Chain A
Amino acid sequence: MAESKKIYTLIILTIVFLIALYLALFAGYKDSGIHLLFKSFDLSNDADSIILTVLRYPRVLKGFIAGSCLALAGLFMQAVSKNPLAEPYLTGVSSGAGLGIVISVIYFNSMNYSLFGFAGALISSAAVILFAGISRFSAAKMILTGLSVNLFASSLISLFILMHADKSHLIMFILSGGFNSGGLVPDKTLFAVFSAALAASCFVIPKLNFLRLDENMVPSFKKEVYLIIILSAFLTCLSVFAAGILGFIGIIAPQIAKKLVGNDYRYLFFANILIGGSFILFADYLSRTLVYPLQIPLGLVIAFIGAPVFVFFLTKKGDIFDRN
């Protein structure tokens, strides 16, 4: 694929992202329009600008962070394991996070559940990566260890829910994925950590181009692969903190990006950030407006759009999934 075509694709993806951003920020108002953005800067007590600054900005920021983190984490996982079906939750993040959230809702103040989810995700992925890497590291070993940890943690989740039937509805709602107040951690901190993780990704992204070569042919770098997996797990934990457990994006965003810009990781990096971000912002817009005034949990909306999109790509462009 020619370089210019890839750049055009990235420009189109940016436009799509801006549309999703507009919808997520302004749609749903009686008085919607870009002028609200300017209004919100003159710190008046206008009700609309309060909705924007207090509710929408943080929500859009978190949506973008969650989407791009998941897409990037999926990209890393698929590149390192050389398996197009790899996804960010392979390191046991999802059920670790779920367990953290459940413990927080049942035993602690449920306001801070995302912090607990983040901690749970960190602990479980650290455990999986350590177990898989103690002797000789291999991606297959990591996937199987992750599977075991996932099974173990999800059985504990079921046990907790069964023991506390009164809170099961709230738990199910939170586990479906969605935004929250964030509790004690300010959004600025989240954004700073996210930026740091992106900067670290810039370091390893070109190396993934080198990993396209057969690992027996060139001296492989095990240490770097290990670092990439840790980074991928951390990005996934960040997404859990921002928007709970959201499936699907981590597996389909990298696939779609690969179809659009080819297999050059320098372009895939930006394409994944844009696709993952747009996907969540668009899903968030739908979750707010589809059954207005009710809000459908974000995770469910993503599955509703994600499944048909994925099946469409599988049937139409199925050949790309045979390779990676």
Chain B
Amino acid sequence: MIEIKDLSFNFENTNFFENINLSLKESCINVIIGPNGAGKTTLIKLIAGILKPDCGVIKSGKKMFYLPQKITYTGAITLYEYLTSIFFRKNWKWHITKNEKQKIFEIMQKLEIYDKKDITVEKLSAGELQKANIALGLLSEAEIFLLDEPTSNMDLINQVKVLDIIKKLSKNGITSVVILHDLNLAAFYGDYFIGINQERKIFSAGKKDFLKSEILKKIYNIDFKILNDNGSYNVQIIK
């Protein structure tokens, strides 16, 4: 479980976040939503430990994997070679052991990218690349995945495929924190919700309590109509 207590963060001498208390749910998809510039990425970077809070504590105790929104890829390597990169962290490691190779193949099969293993990275689609990045997270044995808009630049099918994988991981005990912009996808996949508005006020609740028009209005400042059909939600904008 990720526990955030009395967190404050200053940015360029202004209070960016003040006294934030949050607790994220384990083995669930925690979705962060909010308008651009509200601080979603900042919050996820604070959790990842890339940014240091000015006061307060973030407790997680588990290995985390942070997937930034924009990733630069090294060219001229195959998907398999891309995944092997993660194992070269230690000194004097000149070759990939059989075990590690086996592990890479297993994860590739699980994420359905095994048949692409000899394709160079620049020829892969956005969805396949994102699966490869998730595979890196699994290979690094992280138990908490922090994903900053993992479905940006993807068509609907690929968005669903990537989110399906994240859902499957959460059933296997992996906690994920995901920034999403599509409220309907968020409503479909999310288990626990964190909303940030332009004033950096934070709202958090489970699905049933969060997906209400008055809360969404506080976050986005526009009116919503929410249809609930036996637990499947549909979020509409009212003009």
- Interface residues, chain A, CB within 8 Å of chain B? 1-2, 82, 203, 206-210, 212-214, 216-218, 258, 262-264, 266, 320, 322-324
B93 close to A216 (CB less than 8 A): no
Chain B nearest CB from A20 CB (Å) reads 26
Bound CA–CA A262/B95 (angstroms): 16
User: In whole angstroms, how far apart are the Cα atoms of A90 and B53 in the complex?
Assistant: 36
- Contacts known (A82-B72, A258-B76, A320-B76); A217 close to B67, Cβ less than 8 A: yes
Task: Flag if A264 contacts B81 (CB, 8 Å).
Answer: yes
A323 and B66 form a contact (CB under 8 A): no
Tell me whether A216 and B68 are in contact (CB under 8 A).
yes
Q: Which residues of B contact A217 (CB under 8 A)?
A: 65-68, 71, 133, 136
With A1-B78, A210-B85, A217-B71 known as contacts, the answer to whether A266 contacts B94 (CB < 8 A) is yes
Bound together, the chains give a CA A204 to CA B77 distance in angstroms of 19
Check A323–B76 contact: CB distance below 8 A.
Answer: yes
CA distance A322 to B74 in the complex (A): 11
Q: How far is the CA of A323 from the CA of B76 in the complex (A)?
A: 8
Instruction: Report the minimum CB–CB distance from B142 to chain A (whole Å).
Output: 10
Instruction: Report if B89 contacts A (CB, 8 A).
Output: yes
Does B89 contact A207, Cβ atoms closer than 8 Å? yes
B76 contacts A218, CB within 8 Å?
no
CA distance A213 to B68 in the complex (A): 12
4 additional A-B residue pairs with CB within 8 Å, beyond A210-B88, A214-B68, A263-B74: A217-B66, A263-B77, A264-B77, A320-B75
Chain B residues contacting A210 (CB-CB under 8 Å) are: 85-86, 88-89
Contact present for B140 and A209 (CB under 8 Å):
no
Q: Which residues of B contact A208 (CB under 8 A)?
A: 88
Can you name 16 A-B residue pairings with CB atoms under 8 Å?
A: A82-B74, A206-B92, A207-B89, A207-B91, A209-B84, A210-B89, A214-B68, A214-B73, A216-B71, A217-B66, A218-B136, A258-B76, A264-B81, A323-B76, A323-B122, A324-B74
Establish whether residues A216 and B89, one from each chain, have CB atoms under 8 Å apart when the complex forms.
no
Interface hub of B72, B78, B133, B136 (most chain A Cβ within 10 A): B72
Residues of B within 8 Å of A320, CB to CB, are 75-76
Question: Do A206 and B85 touch (CB < 8 A)?
Answer: no
CA distance A324 to B121 in the complex (A): 12
CB distance from B86 to the nearest CB of A (A): 7
Q: How far is the CA of A216 from the CA of B44 in the complex (A)?
A: 13
- The answer to whether residues A212 and B67 also contact, given A203-B91, A206-B93, A218-B140 and a CB cut-off of 8 A, is no
- Determine the distance from Cα of A216 to Cα of B136 in the docked complex, in whole angstroms: 13
List, in ascending order, chain A residues with CB within 8 A of B94's CB: 206, 266
User: How far does the alpha carbon of A214 sit from the alpha carbon of B67 in the complex, in Å?
Assistant: 9
Shortest A199–chain B CB gap in Å is: 11
Interface residues on B, range: 20 to 34
User: Which residues in B have their C-beta under 8 angstroms from that of A2?
Assistant: 118
In this assembly, does B220 line the interface, its C-beta being within 8 Å of a C-beta of chain A?
Answer: no
| Cα separation A323 to B86 with both chains bound (whole Å) | 20
Q: How far, in angstroms, from A207 to B86 measured CA to CA in the complex? A: 10
Residue from the set B71, B78, B85, B92 with the largest chain A CB neighbour count within 10 Å: B85
Would you call B189 an interface residue if the criterion is a C-beta within 8 Å of the partner chain's C-beta atoms?
no
CA distance A234 to B130 in the complex (A): 39
Determine the chain A residues whose CB is within 8 A of the CB of B95 once the complex forms. Answer: 266
A206 to B84, CA, bound (A): 11
> For A207, A209, A210, which residue has the most chain B Cβ atoms within 10 angstroms?
A209
Q: Which residues of A contact B82 (CB under 8 A)?
A: 212-213
* Cβ–Cβ < 8 Å partners of B73 in chain A: 214
Residues of chain B with a CB closer than 8 A to A207's CB = 88-89, 91
| Whole-angstrom distance between the Cβ of B65 and the nearest chain A Cβ | 8
Q: Establish whether residues A213 and B86, one from each chain, have CB atoms under 8 Å apart when the complex forms.
A: yes
A218 CA / B92 CA spacing, docked (Å) = 19
Interface string of B42-84 (1 = CB under 8 A from A): 0000000010000000000000011110011111111001101
* Contact present for A212 and B140 (CB under 8 Å): no
**Distance, CA A106 to CA B43, complexed state (A):** 62
Residues of B within 8 A of A213 (CB): 74, 82, 85-86, 136
Q: How far is the CA of A217 from the CA of B85 in the complex (A)?
A: 12
Say yes or no: B71 contacts A324, CB within 8 Å.
no
Complex Cα distance, B75 from A320, in Å, reads 8
Distance between Cα atoms of A209 and B100 in the complex (Å): 15
Residues of the B chain whose Cβ atoms lie less than 8 Å from the Cβ of A206: 88, 92-94
Per the bound structure, the CA–CA distance linking A263 and B77 in Å amounts to 6
Which residues of the other chain, A, contact B133 by a CB distance below 8 angstroms? 217
Contact partners of B72 in chain A: CB under 8 A: 82, 214
Residue of A nearest to B45 (CB): A216
Which residues from A are CB-within-8-Å of B136?
213, 217-218
B85 CB contacts on chain A under 8 angstroms: 209-210, 212-213
In the assembled complex, the CB of B10 is this many whole angstroms from the nearest CB of chain A, namely 19
Q: Which chain B residues (168-187) contact chain A, with CB distance < 8 Å?
A: none
